[in-house]
Copies of this chain bind each other. A is one copy, B any other.
Amino acid sequence: MAYPTSLLGRFENNRYPTLRNNPVRSGCGEHSYRAGSNSDTMNFGLRMVSEPDQAPIHAITLFVGLLCACILIGHLLEKHRWINESTTALAIGLCTGTLILLTTKGRSSRVLLFDEQFFFIYLLPPIIFNAGFQVKKKQFFRNFMTITLFGAVGTLISFIIISLGTAQLFKKLDIGFLDTEDYLEYRAISSATVFLRLLSSLILGLGAIFSATDSVCTLQVLDQEETPLLYSLVFGEGVVNDAMSVVLFNAIMRFDLSHITSGSAIHLLGNFLYLFGASTALGIAVGLISAYVIKKLYFGRHSTDREVALMILMAYLSYIMAELFNLSGILTVFFCGILMSHYTWHNVTESSRVTTKYVYFCKEPPLDIEIHPDSHAFATMSLISEIFIFLYVGMDALDIEKWTIVSKSPGKSIGVSSILLGLVLVGRAASIFPLSFISNLTKKSQSDKIGFKQQIVIWWAGLMRGAVSMALAYTQFTRSGHTQLQENAIMITSTITVVLFSTVVFGLLTKPLISFLLPRKHSLTTMPSDLTNLKPLNLPLLANGQDPEGDMNGDPIPRPVSLRMLLTTPSRNVHHYWRKFDDSFMRPVFGGRGFTAHVDSLPTERIIH
């Protein structure tokens, strides 16, 4: 039946129940298909939902179900100290991928398509924001110089080693342009310079991919409560590392083998400083604005929905603005998280803190009370994103398209994977140990120095390459996730291998390694950090003017009394003046913990008022 298109097109897409199929589908099939076979372009008015419309619902259902399973099974396996949640999610992803592969007869292993944009735009920001929000600020800023050293110089060293190593590897294994006829053809029609640029782009791309520490993995493996120093060093390094990666990538873009001068090094440094400064400044600015706005506008309200919504949106705005301005969004949202936990959050929870404070007036001392100003909204978002990523990476690892291509030369793939893994190990060792030595030189106090055993843990804990590397590899070597070229497929499968191996093997061994290298010692330091939850309770009990945060780490800070001490403990000194500045200027303007306690002599006034 040849109905005029315009008439039938009138009901161009008459499928109200996009998500809802007719439960009696067979009953209306007669209507649906009467319009003819070309129902794609000419939809009859009563056409039912077609299969492609329903596919995402199936996929989302399965994926959400798997996320639930990951949390549940991850919890059940928690007793086994070696297994962490990321490993569970990876394993479940792998199993599901295998099942899907068998069900679809080898067509695909994925439920949803992996999109690098999705990863960078939606999944990464909540994780990094939450890390900034929950990070122990004092620990972080005390080690700020070391962190920057590891993050900036260490990444550069890793990058150089992995790049140089990859170049050697390419020669040895005849990978790249050296064995294909493309190369000869290409050689014939092009100049050597262009070819070299292509080659260097590939090599340096690999260098950048594998020198990018995965902050997400670090969060999973190290425990802030157990090893606060190592956590802040390794995680902080990961954050700074991101800014450095941006700089390196931009440098690669403009890399010219024939023009390496000392000027380019200075340019690199300048770029890094600009990126680092601008990203940090943006994060701090957004954090302070949010604190000020919430303090001024919402003071004294009882509902916190709007404040929390505003916080989340502004934090996300900071990330997306940084990306828009070509800055490091990770660095921005990390500092935004720090500022928000220091000022904004306390303004938001002003009303609920009344409850918190009230507990203090009870005669009996609270025994097992945990006061968390319900910041679990961020932790929850972060957790879901993390599990999402690992689950997906697990499924993604069975990327049959690439494995099929690679299977033609299995030896090459294994070779590339193992050499890359080796380079990652060597590259990180070459940056951590010398830099720790340099860092130790600047510190007089023996307790501040990073011991050799701690260096090993830092080296080890930063070895994991995870979702960030995967996303980068896919962006670098595929076009919307697809490739037909053997070299690109090898790069993808090698990345998958390195990611799986490092996450599972290095990840599983991290906890045993820590308890082997640093036994007991850290279980003792757990106590003070646990007490942070009780801080608001202790606050009014402390002597006036004494800084509750400053004493949180168990070792009271000696105030500088001589010039020598001023020089040897610069960071502590800086911290002291920062506290003064914070108390006298920042907190009155932007709010924050303890601000109300400083204003009201009697907390009861606040409650009665």
Given the contacts A56-B121, A190-B3, A475 and B367 also touching, CB distance less than 8 Å: no
Which residues of chain B have C-beta atoms less than 8 A from A310's C-beta?
68, 71-72
Q: How large is the interface on A (under 10, 10 to 19, 20 to 34, 35 or more residues)?
A: 35 or more
Q: Shortest CB–CB separation between residue A317 and chain B, in angstroms?
A: 5
Selected contact of A12 from candidates B1, B351, B483, CB within 8 Å? B483
**Cα–Cα distance between A380 and B66 once the two chains are bound (Å):** 25
Q: Shortest CB–CB separation between residue A219 and chain B, in angstroms?
A: 12
Residue contact B316 to A46, C-beta cutoff 8 Å: no
Residue contact A376 to B71, C-beta cutoff 8 Å: no
Residue contact A380 to B2, C-beta cutoff 8 Å: no
A249 interface residue (CB < 8 Å to B)? yes
Which residues of chain B have C-beta atoms less than 8 A from A368's C-beta?
354, 607-609
Which residues of chain B have C-beta atoms less than 8 A from A376's C-beta?
303-305, 308, 374, 377
Residue contact A64 to B316, C-beta cutoff 8 Å: yes
Which residues of chain B have C-beta atoms less than 8 A from A320's C-beta?
57, 60-61, 64
Which residues of chain B have C-beta atoms less than 8 A from A510's C-beta?
none
Which residues of chain B have C-beta atoms less than 8 A from A254's C-beta?
22, 24, 27-28, 31
Which residues of chain B have C-beta atoms less than 8 A from A253's C-beta?
22, 28, 31, 46, 48
Interface residues of A in 500-531 (CB under 8 A from B): none
Q: Which residue of B lies closest to A301 (CB)?
A: B75
Residue contact A384 to B19, C-beta cutoff 8 Å: no
Which residues of chain B have C-beta atoms less than 8 A from A22's C-beta?
250, 253-254, 326
**Cα–Cα distance between A387 and B366 once the two chains are bound (Å):** 41
Which residues of chain B have C-beta atoms less than 8 A from A48's C-beta?
253
Q: Which residue of B lies closest to A199 (CB)?
A: B45
Pick out which of these stretches binds chain B: A157-165, A356-364, A544-552. A356-364
Pick out which of these stretches binds chain B: A200-208, A431-439, A451-459, A566-574. A200-208
Q: Which residue of B lies closest to A485 (CB)?
A: B10
Pick out which of these stretches binds chain B: A88-96, A181-189, A396-404, A587-595. A181-189
Residue contact A246 to B17, C-beta cutoff 8 Å: yes
Residue contact B208 to A16, C-beta cutoff 8 Å: yes
Residue contact B116 to A189, C-beta cutoff 8 Å: no
A596 interface residue (CB < 8 Å to B)? no
Selected contact of A297 from candidates B6, B9, B72, B363, CB within 8 Å? B72
A558 interface residue (CB < 8 Å to B)? no
A227 interface residue (CB < 8 Å to B)? no
Which residues of chain B have C-beta atoms less than 8 A from A326's C-beta?
17, 20-23
Given pairs A10-B487, A31-B253, A64-B317, 7 additional interface contacts (CB within 8 A): A3-B190, A4-B186, A19-B121, A23-B274, A57-B320, A302-B370, A305-B379
